[in-house]
Amino acid sequence: MEGLTTTITPPAQTLRGYFIPYIVPSHISNLVDIAKLFASRGVQVTILTTHYNSLRFKHSINNLGYQIDVEIVDFPFKEVGLPEGIENYTDATPDQASKVFQALLMLQNPMEQAIRAAKPDFIVSDMYYHWSADLANQLAIPRLVFHVKCYFALCAAEVLSRFAPHQKVESDSELFLLPDLPDPIHMTRSQLPEWIQNRNPFSVFKEKIDEGDKKSYGVIVNSSYELEKSYADFYRDNLGRRAWCIGPYSLHCDKVNINININININININGTNKDDHPCFDWLNKRGQGEVIYVSFGSLSCFGAAQLLELASALETSGHPFIWVVRNGEKLLPDGFEARITEQNKGVLINGWAPQVKILEHPAIGGFVTHCGWNSTLESLTAGVPMITWPLSAEQFYNEKLVTRVLKVGVEVGANKWSPSIGASTDLIEKDKIQRAIKELMSKESEAEERRHAVKEMSKAVRTAVHVGGSSSNNLTALIQELHCLKAAQGTTILEQPKN
């Protein structure tokens, strides 16, 4: 077994792990899902977070029958000048975002103290808590790092860092090749995060994250080997990184009878309404198979009035019924738009929360207009729904290349400018481009049919991976066994540092 000088049969002792989610809903839901998976395999789990962030998932871990504790550290509202309750980027205004980040940095000390006092056997932390790598090494325990990213995005970011091809082009719009990857992938400088395009204070923080990754024992990836085989191999063999693909987490959790449908876009449904009773399903049930377009851009994305006008006009005249999750942008929509589409039965607007997984799984859904966040992308692949890719921020332009150039199950809308996660996108996509992408994705031509067939096959493979004997299930078993071995080896065997 890599990382040990000898093989030790895992003892029956209980493993104790600390799980530290980042203060963004998509990161919280993912790491809580991972914690549930470990707990379902007999690991004693503690989730370390702040009070208001814990309210997003506490209801989902109650009465599971597993050892899952929640430990709270105080969020420094007063110290950074935030009103009480704003502990999350989703709840913050754009002007408050920098204060949330400042508070994040201040959480290091109380979190470190909590972990030192608990003396767990391992740590699973979000990439943003880079300091947990040094802490784990001081405690002589493994730290596993979690990114809300796929293998492809991890590989693309790494080769970009190593070879800097974006520095060899003369303009932001000139294409360059990402070297060494298994497939020929081209990008432009304008599609890269701003801290890569031009060095800024976050560039320094990102370097600390990367250094923390290299010091860590390995990476947990929300993907399946079948979906990204060549990039999982490349990450291990060419880049020398240890990683375990154990996803999709949500399917895993279904297999162990865990309710993991934590919504990542809103506050907890305190009224106890069943998410499957959402009124959109009455409308969907009356639509034909594969004729509806689902449109959603995640919990942090924001469009201005001009972009909302272009998108609304494109959807209204597309000839396809649609469901559009507008997320607090309804006041910027064209006058009379909602009334017209409702009267003409063309579409449904959802303001705020939407049961996205269940919508994508509905047979009436034929396409997904998405910002290419990895959670949404994987949910679409799992549901067998082809995509119109409209990346905005984070690693979403990498995900677009995976969907359209590698897996070939998506159509690009033509986005070319990276935007901050919080704040309106400045890359205006005109109505004609949106309509072209919808027509191409939803057509009955052979290329569109091939996309639909390919994504259905991927859905089958991904679902098989989480069954007993599947690749993701086996990877989870192997990882937990390895952690048992590391615990048994402490004090009896000298551990080798993982090779990165």
The β-bridge relationship of strands 122-126 and 143-146 is: parallel
Rounded to whole angstroms, the Cα distance separating 390 from 405 reads: 14
**CA pseudo-torsion sign 132, 134, 140, 146:** positive
Count CA within 13 A, CB hemisphere, residue 89: 22
pLDDT tens-digit series, residues 205-226: 999 999 999 999 999 999 999 9
- CB atoms inside a 10 Å sphere around CB 425: 22
Rounded to whole angstroms, the Cα distance separating 378 from 374 reads: 6
For the segment 51-71, the average pLDDT, to the nearest whole number, is 89
Which helix (DSSP H) or strand (DSSP E) does residue 124 occupy?
strand 122-126
- Range scoring the smallest mean pLDDT among 182-191, 260-269, 317-326: 260-269
Q: What is the structure's pLDDT at 75?
A: 96
What the block records as the tokens of 259 is 């309710």
Residue pair 324/354 in contact (Cβ under 8 Å)? The answer is: no
pLDDT tens-digit series, residues 347-361: 999 988 899 999 999
What the block records as the tokens of 389 is 């890719």
CB environment 136-170: b (16+ within 10 A), e (fewer): beebebbbbbbbbbbbbbbbbbbbbeeeebbeeee
**CATH 3.40.50.2000 in the chain, residue ranges:** 16-169+201-260+466-489, 278-462
Cα 474 to Cα 246, 250, 432, 480, distances in angstroms: 8, 16, 47, 10
pLDDT tens-digit series, residues 365-414: 999 999 999 999 999 999 999 999 999 999 999 999 999 999 999 999 99
Scanning the structure block, which residue is given the tokens 């071995």? Answer: 485
Rounded to whole angstroms, the Cα distance separating 243 from 220 reads: 6
For the segment 436-452, the average pLDDT, to the nearest whole number, is 97
Rounded to whole angstroms, the Cα distance separating 365 from 490 reads: 52
What the block records as the tokens of 391 is 């990346």
Residue pair 389/470 in contact (Cβ under 8 Å)? The answer is: no
What the block records as the tokens of 435 is 């309509």
- CB atoms inside a 10 Å sphere around CB 196: 19
pLDDT tens-digit series, residues 452-464: 999 999 999 999 9
- CB atoms inside a 10 Å sphere around CB 343: 9
Supply the CATH classification number for the domain 278-462. Answer: 3.40.50.2000
Supply the CATH classification number for the domain 16-169+201-260+466-489. Answer: 3.40.50.2000
Scanning the structure block, which residue is given the tokens 């162990």? Answer: 256
Residue 19 DSSP SS3: strand
Residue 264 DSSP SS3: coil
- Range scoring the smallest mean pLDDT among 13-17, 79-83, 132-136, 470-474: 13-17
Q: What is the structure's pLDDT at 264?
A: 33
pLDDT confidence bin for 304, thresholds 50/70/90? confident
Which of residues 69 and 63 earns the better pLDDT score?
69
- Edge to edge, the sheet with strand 292-296 lists 347-350, 322-325, 292-296, 365-370, 387-389, 410-412
For the segment 86-102, the average pLDDT, to the nearest whole number, is 89
DSSP 16: E
Q: What is the pTM (predicted TM-score) of this model?
A: 0.90
Mean pLDDT of the chain: 89
Rounded to whole angstroms, the Cα distance separating 129 from 480 reads: 22
Residue pair 435/318 in contact (Cβ under 8 Å)? The answer is: yes
Cα 283 to Cα 127, 293, 321, 367, 470, distances in angstroms: 40, 13, 10, 17, 36
Give percent above pLDDT 70 in the chain.
89
Catalytically annotated residues: 27, 126
Residue pair 284/359 in contact (Cβ under 8 Å)? The answer is: yes
Give percent above pLDDT 90 in the chain.
76
Q: Write out the E strands in 300-457.
A: 322-325, 347-350, 365-370, 387-389, 410-412
